[in-house]
Structure 1
Amino acid sequence: MTAGVYDAVSAVEGEAFDIVHAGFGALNRLPDINRWASVAAELVAPAGCLYLAEFHPFSHVLDDETGTTVTHDYFDEGPEASGGPGTYADETATTEHNETVERRHSLATVVSAITGAGLRIQFLHEHDHTFYLQRRSLESHDGGDVYRHREGAPRFPLTYSIRAEKA
């Protein structure tokens, strides 16, 4: 069975789940965060939760080389088209159909959408690590599976996680 994220409720025929999970890189593809949050909330069973782990929008406003100079507008939520061969995981990969449209939803936009959909946030954690070389200013840690700021460099959040339950 396949369905678009906005059609998930009808695709599962009204079934609800103890945990609804949205992972890294999911939200930046979605134009309507309020609609996504409403669908997610509808999929959460009573006493269940939504768990979101996502790249922090602030990490995308800084330059790639040093990670210390603001080069993009935090409040510009897109859309932003880009393209070129490769993927975030392998820039040298041979790919076709390379145009991508993404949005950087602010943390306030995401939190407001989740609470506006009737979910109660249990926690919001910001993390100083990510799981791919998001920018050249990061260093590999833990055998290459985790990337962090260089020792002594100013830190800023690279990822965040939210857990929200039915209100």
Structure 2
Amino acid sequence: MLLINAGGDTTRNLVGGAMVTLLERPELLERLRAKADTLMPSALEELLRFQSPVIYMRRTAVADTELGGASISAGDKVGLYYGAGNGDASVFDRPQDLVLDRSPNEHLAFGGGGPHFCLGSHFGRIEGGEMIRQLLERFPDLALAGQPTWLASNFISGPTHVPVAYTPRG
């Protein structure tokens, strides 16, 4: 049940958050639409970095260590805030910018590797990329028609309401 819920929440919020991010940047949305076949893989990775659907994850230190000058003892609870890690200027050039062809892109959106790396990461990439591609193809004039509202959560990030405008096709 955890895998089903986790995959549903994160994929839904990845697609919703990515679309809001792109709709707020029409020039990037059009670039992705025009080059979706070649640009989608790197764009999806960048959208995961830029608008991660998970805000934080808590882990327990298994050994005494030091991180960034702070001592962490075995048994201490440590929070990984994805936005902070994915916005680290010592790792990412211009982290505040959405760069659709960013490379390398060692984002933390699926947990950053190790034993807690997301089991569904491959499915999430396939589903997210294809859903975004379909939205771009099926709604060529999709645009924001109001201010999106976001989930009030300190754990998951995603829009709850995104007013859009488009021309229906026959």
In terms of fraction of residues, the more strand-rich structure is 1
Q: Compute the TM-score of the two structures, normalised by the length of structure 2.
A: 0.26
Structure with the largest fraction of helix: 2
* TM-score, scaled relative to structure 1: 0.27
